[in-house]
Amino acid sequence: MFFIYNFTVLKKNNTMKVTATFKEKFTISISYLFILLFVYSAVSKLMDFHNFQIQLAQSPLLTAFATYISYAVLTVEFAIAILLSIPKTRIIGMFSAFGLMLLFTIYIYIILNYSSFVPCSCGGILENMNWTEHLIFNIAMVILAATALYLSNDWQNKPRFYISIRLVAISLLSVVLMAGLFLISEDMVQHRNNFVRRFPPFPAKRITVENLKFNSFYFAGESNGKLFLGNTSAPALITTLDTALQVITTQHIKITDTLFKFHNIQLRVLPPHFYLFDGTVPIIFKGNLSDGKAVLQSRKIPGFTKAVLIDSATIIIRTLSNTRENLLATVNLNHGQIKKSAHELLQKQIDGLFDTDGTMQYSQQQRKFVYLYYYRNQYTVTDQYLNLVHRGNTIDTTSKAKIKIAYVKAKKQRVFSAPPLLVNRVSAIHNNLLFVNSTLPGRYDEIKMWKNANVIDVYDILTKSYLMSFYIYKIDGEKIDDFIVTNTHFFAIIGSNIVSYKLAAALKNKYNN
């Protein structure tokens, strides 16, 4: 009996020993696996750190914190690897590994289910996985970490309840942290951006390129699948294209009064009418597309430097005030008189003339007028009567115009005494979206792209928010001269070429329908 008892005890002890040895080996093996994973991942990111930061900056969750998170991820991954390699701190390291992998898992889940686009921000071999595979991999690693903690010898004499409590607490903290990052980052990117651009995958895809043979064309309007082009070299010509960029008609305008000494005639088409104006004369002609006959509207219109059509009877002009500063005003086309002068809309910083220069756009769908400054990060939104709605900002950080002005006494003129810093170059509006060709690289922009492409930033004028950016590639090294946007396409004139880009759902869905 004694022999049988001893044999039973010995067998039980041996079984416990084997079990303990297995648990210990399993825990150590999982620790080594995490060490390999974190070290390899961190080194891969470190070797291409700038690209890693760029990828983080494209993340819908982490854009606003890309700089801090890029350093934090590397530091944490190396730190956890060290903790896992030391027996006394292995349990702390395993809890940390569980928490970090859970954060990564929650991040990918939010990206796949709540993000408007899916970026890339992986390092090393994980770049070969798609996001669903990456999610499965992370879940598996989280399960392995939890299993290793439950099997760890350090917890044999303690209830598993303690482990469960800690894992649940870490899980809740991870969910709150990642959800908070998502909400805060989105708000900062859209409304308090620190000049970080977001480039979703292919929001605009190039479809067609056609050569116009001349570099003097510009967009005069669009309607019902038709594009209307003006030509600075042939101002009495209307060229109509379809969305495939094929010429439909070439129409010559018949001007009833040719006694004016025109300097810079501009064409605008708002079907069924077209308009010709030259603010230096100043005159405005109006005609019907059906006969091409242009009729003078009024001889009393004040001189203006820019104009945008509101409807068949109203135009918004930029003229000069008594102090020779830019001034916005609405004009009645029938009798040429100013209906309203908006003295407070353009905000003077230096001289009120050059510092308030900019582009003018009008959204027929929203009945909103937008004035975008050339030399600072601000635009102004009004209704069709020039009543201020609000002011918004572009994502660059140039809040004050960087220009130097000199006065030439002989000519009694103000001129630039040094090249100005151009911020917003060309713009267009469609519905609630403002498209801006910016000249300044963002914080994480790839500089090599600026040699080959023009960047277009997209803003929602109703919410004053930045939405996304995309590239329009140069042709023969030429920049964008003009562009126009429709419900489905982005059209640009680049040198003597016209190019069409089809808008993806990620961009079209931003229209306020």
Question: What does the block give as tokens for 29?
Answer: 């093996």
Structure tokens that stand for 45 in this block? 């990111």
CA atoms of 332 and 364, how far apart (whole Å)? 18
Angle at 429 between CA 396 and CA 324, to 5 degrees: 70
Q: Lowest mean pLDDT: which of 99-108, 328-337, 402-411, 423-432? A: 402-411
* Topology, domain 2-191: de novo design (two linked rop proteins) (1.20.1440)
Is residue 288 predicted with pLDDT exceeding 60?
A: yes
Minimal CA–CA distance to 290: which of 306, 269, 308, 311? 269
* Residues 168, 102 contacting (CB under 8 angstroms): no
Classify residue 435 by burial, with Cβ atoms within 10 Å: 0-12, 13-18, 19+.
Answer: buried
Distance between CA atoms of 243 and 220, rounded to whole angstroms? Answer: 15
How far apart (Å, rounded) are the C-alpha atoms in residues 145 and 94? Answer: 6
Q: What is the pLDDT of residue 51?
A: 74
Domain boundaries, the chain: 2-191, 204-508
Write out 47-74 in H/E/C secondary structure: HCHHHHHHHHHCCCCCHHHHHHHHHHHH
Give the C-alpha separation, 296 to 334, whole Å: 10
CATH superfamily of 204-508: YVTN repeat-like/Quinoprotein amine dehydrogenase (2.130.10.10)
Model confidence pLDDT, tens digit, residues 69-117: 888 899 999 999 999 999 889 889 999 999 999 998 988 888 787 765 5
Q: Are 61 and 73 in contact (CB under 8 A)?
A: no
pLDDT band at 378 (very low <50, low <70, confident <90, very high): very high
Contact between residue 415 and residue 405 where contact means Cβ atoms under 8 Å apart: yes
Question: Which residues on adjacent β-strands are paired with residue 267?
Answer: 276
Q: Hey, what are 513's tokens?
A: 């329908």
Give the tens place of pLDDT for each residue, 160-178. Answer: 778 888 899 999 998 888 8
pLDDT band at 11 (very low <50, low <70, confident <90, very high): very low
Whole-number pLDDT of residue 125: 47
